[in-house]
Structure 1
Amino acid sequence: MSDSNLPPSYPAASSPAPAGGAPVAPPQQVNIAFWLYIVGAALSLISLIISLATIGSLKGDLQRQLAAQGQQISDSALNATVTASVTVAIVFGILYIAAYVLFAVFMRRGANWARIVLLIVTVLSLFGILGGFGLGAARVVVGVIATILIFLKPANEYFSAVKASKRPRA
Structure 2
Amino acid sequence: MSDSNLPPSYPASSSPAPAASGPVTPPQQVNIAFWLYIVGAALSLISLIVSLVTIGSLKDTLQRQLAAQGQQLSDSALNATLAVSVTIAIVFGILYIAAYVLFAVFMRRGANWARIVLLVVTVLSLFGILDGFGLGAARLVVGVIATVLIFLKPANEYFREVKARKLPRA
TM-score (norm 2): 0.88
Pairing 1:67–2:79 present: no
Which residue pairs with 1:137 in the alignment?
A: 137
Give how far 1:23 is off. Answer: 1.2
Check conservation: 1:22, 1:165, Cα contact below 8 A.
no
Q: 5 Å matches for 1:10-89?
A: 19-89=19-89
Unaligned runs of 5+ in 2: 1-17
Structure 1 consecutive aligned stretches of length 4 or more whose deviation exceeds 4 Å: none
1:38-77 per-residue CA deviation (whole Å, 9 max, x = no partner) reads 0000000000000000000111111101000000111110
Pairing 1:107–2:107 present: yes
- SS of the aligned residue for 2:140 comes to helix
Partner Cα separation in structure 2 for residue 54 and residue 132 of structure 1: 11
Unaligned runs of 5+ in 1: 1-17
Which residue pairs with 1:4 in the alignment?
A: none
Partner Cα separation in structure 2 for residue 19 and residue 159 of structure 1: 14
Which residue pairs with 1:155 in the alignment?
A: 155
TM-score (norm 1): 0.88
Partner Cα separation in structure 1 for residue 74 and residue 131 of structure 2: 30
Check conservation: 1:21, 1:166, Cα contact below 8 A.
no
Q: Partner amino acid for 1:45?
A: L
What is the RMSD computed on CA atoms of the aligned residues? 1.2
How many matched pairs? Answer: 154
Q: Partner amino acid for 2:24?
A: V
Give how far 1:154 is off. Answer: 0.2
Partner Cα separation in structure 1 for residue 132 and residue 123 of structure 2: 17
Percent identity over the alignment is 86
